A and B are shown apart, each in its own frame.
Chain A
Amino acid sequence: MSDVPAPAPAPTPGLVRRHHWIVRLTHWATVVLLAGMIASGLQIYEAYARFGNRDGPYFPSPFNDAQFPAWSRLGGWLAGALNWHFALMWPLVACGLLYLSYLVASGEWRALMFRPRDLRGAIEMQKYYLGLRKEHPRQGKHNPLQKLAYTFIVVLGVLAVLTGLAIYKPVQFGWLTWLFGGFQAARYWHFWAVWIFIGFTAVHVALVFLVDPASLRAMLTGWYRGRFPSHD
C-alpha cells in the first residue's frame, strides 16, 4: 500500500473518502459480536442437536447430533453460553440499528439497496466476472452485485434477530413464532442463518483480497484508493 508522504494536507490524488466512521465502527463491532453470537449459539445447540419435538419427526439437517469442535464454542456449558448469547445480543442489535439509522439519515441506503432496476447491471457485472465481458461496467460506490449481497445480508440480519425473538419468547411473540412455522421451525431458521452468515463472510473476505484489497483499508481508515473509484 502507498506509503508516499503527502507534501501538503491537501487531498491526495486518487484518495477518496469512502466509509463514514459509523459504518466502520459497526462493521468491525459486528464481526466480533457476531463471532461471539455464533460461538455461544453452537454451544447452546449442543444441548439438543436436532430440530423437532422430542419424539420427532425431525427437520432435515446435516447437523443432527453434531458436536462442534471446542474452539468454535463459547460459554463452557449451556448456562454460560446462554448468558453470553443474551448479553451479546444487545450490542449486536444496537450496532444493527445504528448502522441502519445511519444509512437512512445519510441517504446512503440509495447506494446500497438492491432494486429491480439494478438487475440489468447485475447481469453485466456477472458477465464481467465470468470473463464474458472485458470492460468493468461503470458503477457507483458499489456495483449491482455488491448491492445485492449487502441488501441480502441486512435482510438476513433482520431475520436472525426475528427468529431469535421467536424462540426467546415464543409466548409473548407467539405471532412471530407462528409466522416462522412454530418454535422448532424458528429454531431451525435461526440456526441456518449461522451458515449463511459464515458462507457470506467467506465469499466477502475472498473477494476483498482477490478483487479489491484496497477496500480493506477503506473499511479500516475510511479512505479508498484502488481500482474501483465511484463513477458518480
Chain B
Amino acid sequence: MLHEIDRRAFVKLGLAGGAGALVAACGWDGGNAIRPDLLAVSRLNDWVGEKILFSPSRLARTYSPAERSRSLPSYFISATTPMLKDPRLWRLRVDGLVQRPLELSIEELMRMPRVTYTVKHHCVEGWSGIATWHGAPVSAVVERCVPLATARYIEFVSFDAGYSNGWDWASALHPQTILAYGMNDNPIPAAHGAPLRLYSPIKLGYKLTKYLVSMTFTDRRPGGYWEDQGYPWFAGL
C-alpha cells in the first residue's frame, strides 16, 4: 500500500516539475501548440469584458485641468509623424452599413455637440497620464448616418500606415467615446493624431485610432493593427 502511495507521489512531483520547467523556458509565448489556445482564452476574455463587466452608462472618472500630466507620450507606426499634404482637403468618411454615408469636415464635426473632459489615459504598457480632450461624441455621428440594423461594429482607419481598430457597438456609443479634434485646449498636435482621432477613457490607448480617415459600419468584427498581432481585442477598462 505504501509503495503505491509513494509511486503516485513520485508521478505527481514529476508533473509539477515538468510544468515548472515549461514555465521557466525563457520568453515562451506558447509556441504553435499553445498560442492558439491562449488566443481563444483572449476571445473569451473579450466576451466577458464586453458582455458581463462592461456597463454602457458607467463613466470614467474625470479630473480637473490642473491635474494634467506635463506631457503625454505619443507614437505612430509610420517612420515619421503622419501629416496631411493639404489639411483643407481632409474629410472623415463615414460609410459601410449606413443609410446615409457622410463626408465630414473638421468644421462640421465642431458644429456637432461638443464634449470636453479631463481623464486618465491608460497604456497597455502600464503607464498612465492625464489630459483634456475636446470632440464630438461618436454617438452624434451615428445618429446622423443612420446605421442599418445589421451594423454591429465600427472600424476606424487612419492614414498612419493603415493603422486601424475595430470597436464593439456599446463601447463606440459610450457617452465618453468621442472624435477628438482638440487636446488640452488646443487643436490636436500632429504627434497625437491631428486632425482627428478617436478618444475614450474606457479603452486602452492602442484602441484610440489617431489620424482618422474613415469609420466604417460592419456586421463582421474588424481586426486592428495590434489586435491582429495578439493584443486583446476588446481592451476595455
Contact = CB atoms under 8 A, between A and B. Distances in A.
Interface of A: 1-6, 9, 12, 28, 31-32, 35-36, 39, 43-45, 47-48, 50, 53-55, 70-80, 82-84, 86-87, 90, 169-172, 174, 178, 183-184, 187, 217, 220-221, 223
A217 B6 CA distance: 8
Contacts of B27: 43, 70, 73-77
Contacts of A1: 6
B60 A174 contact: yes
17 contacts: A2-B2, A6-B1, A39-B23, A53-B129, A54-B69, A55-B69, A80-B35, A83-B30, A87-B42, A169-B237, A170-B120, A171-B61, A171-B201, A172-B54, A172-B236, A183-B120, A221-B6
Given A83-B42, A169-B49, 11 more contacts: A5-B3, A32-B23, A54-B71, A55-B129, A70-B26, A77-B27, A83-B29, A171-B58, A172-B58, A183-B122, A220-B12
For this complex, into which size category does the number of interface residues on chain B fall? Answer: 35 or more
A54 B72 contact: yes
A79 B229 contact: yes
B16 A31 contact: yes
A6 B2 contact: yes
Contacts of B30: 80, 83-84
A170 to B, nearest CB: 5
A140 to B, nearest CB: 24
Given A171-B60, A172-B237, A187 B126 contact: yes
Contact of B125 (A48, A171, A172): A48
A218 to B, nearest CB: 10
Given A48-B125, A79-B231, A86-B42, A5 B58 contact: no
